[in-house]
């Protein structure tokens, strides 16, 4: 028989929750926590970030004595948009989607593990130094929910997210800085068959710019990408407008600045060659961070993983997570791998055993934090 955390995960995964449309899963999480006798507060971030929900916040006060270090746990409720039905099934020890699209293990497997661990804390009267839970919307499109949360509400300075698709035991010591870029070329429309020489092709300018950009993995800690391009109105019209969306990431903030400037120079050069005007907007997506192995947030995780039977390993991530937001605000928030595989694809899956093991890891985190001097 599947365990309670597996049943909970499959229930949550079956509820579609693309960014901005997380209401059904938020209501399920709220009901679960209130059935445990806990208060759940939903803030007003939904209107700010364009979601049907705000951030869900829940706090368990420390048990008698109150010694140790309080901890917050954070997971996001949105997934990348599914392209078909979500029908979670258990197959050969894994939870998969039988509907031909994503499963939503990113990040509902973390949600389920955190909720089940909370249930066990209460059911078993486990002592702890304080536990806070935060569930955010619109993480997948820029960490927007976490960015809109009033972090001063946390009593804990140390927190954890489980948002790395790797084997349990991997500890993420750092994540990159990231900038997004919207580029708009403005040319001149003309009839493509009768007066092409009078036109200025915005698509040609964009294509030249993209061809000149260094994209993909630039080095061990730097990447760049163009992910969306739109332009033109008809096949027989020289296109007046063309827009593309790009990004750059680097673990070194200085290097990120250099890559972004290199991209801007290539874009401006291409616009000049094609006699097109260029409008470029660059936005900070999130700031990077880097921990040392002897930082308290890392040492607590290391000990908890060992107690749970895992040998900790250390890595840097190429992606952002809600942890980026909280670290930028002066908290210490660590990202732990939780066994998700092939996220954002129809092959997305997670082992049944890993769902159970992350409950054990969560309980161990609380035990070790309670023993750790605040």
What span, in angstroms and rounded, lies between the C-alpha atoms of 338 and 189?
52
Tell whether omega for the bond before 188 is within 30 degrees of 0, i.e. cis: no
Q: List the alpha helices (DSSP H) in the chain.
A: 4-13, 23-35, 45-49, 105-123, 144-148, 202-212, 253-273, 296-307, 322-328, 352-371
CA–CA distances in Å: residue 233 to residues 168, 207, 228, 236: 49, 16, 17, 9
Which positions are annotated as active-site residues?
78, 139
Q: Which is nearest to 47 in space by CA: 151, 180, 135, 144?
A: 144
What span, in angstroms and rounded, lies between the C-alpha atoms of 72 and 60?
10
Provide the CA 115 distance to its chain's centre, in angstroms: 19
Q: Are 128 and 271 in contact (CB under 8 A)?
A: no
DSSP code per residue over 280-314: EEEEEEE--EE--TTSHHHHHHHHHHHHTT---EE
Q: Mapping DSSP to helix (H, G, I), strand (E, B) and coil, where does residue 174 land?
A: strand
Q: Compute the C-alpha angle 14/319/363, nearest 5°.
A: 60
Q: Are 242 and 263 in contact (CB under 8 A)?
A: no
């Amino acid at each position: 028989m599947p365990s309670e955390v597996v049943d909970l995960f499959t229930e949550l995964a079956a509820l579609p929750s693309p960014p901005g449309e997380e209401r059904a899963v938020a209501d399920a999480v709220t009901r679960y926590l209130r059935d445990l006798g806990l208060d759940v507060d939903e803030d007003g971030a939904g209107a700010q970030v364009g979601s049907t929900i705000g951030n869900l916040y829940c706090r368990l006060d420390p048990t008698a004595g109150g010694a140790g270090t309080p901890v917050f746990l954070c997971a996001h409720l949105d997934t990348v948009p599914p392209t078909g039905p979500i029908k979670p099934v258990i197959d050969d020890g894994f939870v998969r989607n039988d509907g031909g699209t994503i499963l939503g293990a990113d990040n509902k497997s973390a949600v389920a593990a955190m909720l089940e661990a909370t249930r066990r804390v209460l059911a078993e009267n486990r002592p702890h130094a304080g536990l806070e839970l935060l569930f955010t919307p619109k993480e997948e499109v820029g960490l927007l929910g976490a960015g809109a949360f009033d972090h001063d509400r946390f009593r804990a300075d140390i927190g954890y997210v489980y948002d790395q698709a790797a084997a349990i035991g991997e500890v993420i010591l750092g994540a990159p800085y990231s900038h997004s870029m919207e580029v708009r070329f403005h040319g001149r429309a003309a009839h493509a068959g009768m007066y092409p020489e009078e036109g200025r092709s915005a698509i040609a300018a964009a294509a030249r710019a993209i061809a000149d950009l260094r994209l993909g993995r630039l080095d061990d800690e730097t990447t760049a990408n163009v992910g969306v391009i739109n332009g033109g109105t008809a096949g027989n019209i020289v296109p007046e407008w063309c827009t593309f969306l790009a990004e750059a990431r680097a673990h070194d903030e200085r290097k990120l600045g250099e890559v972004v400037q290199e991209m801007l120079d290539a874009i401006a050069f291409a616009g000049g060659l094609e006699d097109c005007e260029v409008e470029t907007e660059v936005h900070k997506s999130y700031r990077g961070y880097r921990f040392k192995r002897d930082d308290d947030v890392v040492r607590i995780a290391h000990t908890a993983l060992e107690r749970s039977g895992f040998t900790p390993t250390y890595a840097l991530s190429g992606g952002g997570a809600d942890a980026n937001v909280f670290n930028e605000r002066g908290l210490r928030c660590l990202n732990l791998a939780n066994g998700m595989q092939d996220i954002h694809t129809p092959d997305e899956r997670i082992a049944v055993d890993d769902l159970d093991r992350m409950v054990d890891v969560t309980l161990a985190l609380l035990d070790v934090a309670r023993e750790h001097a605040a």
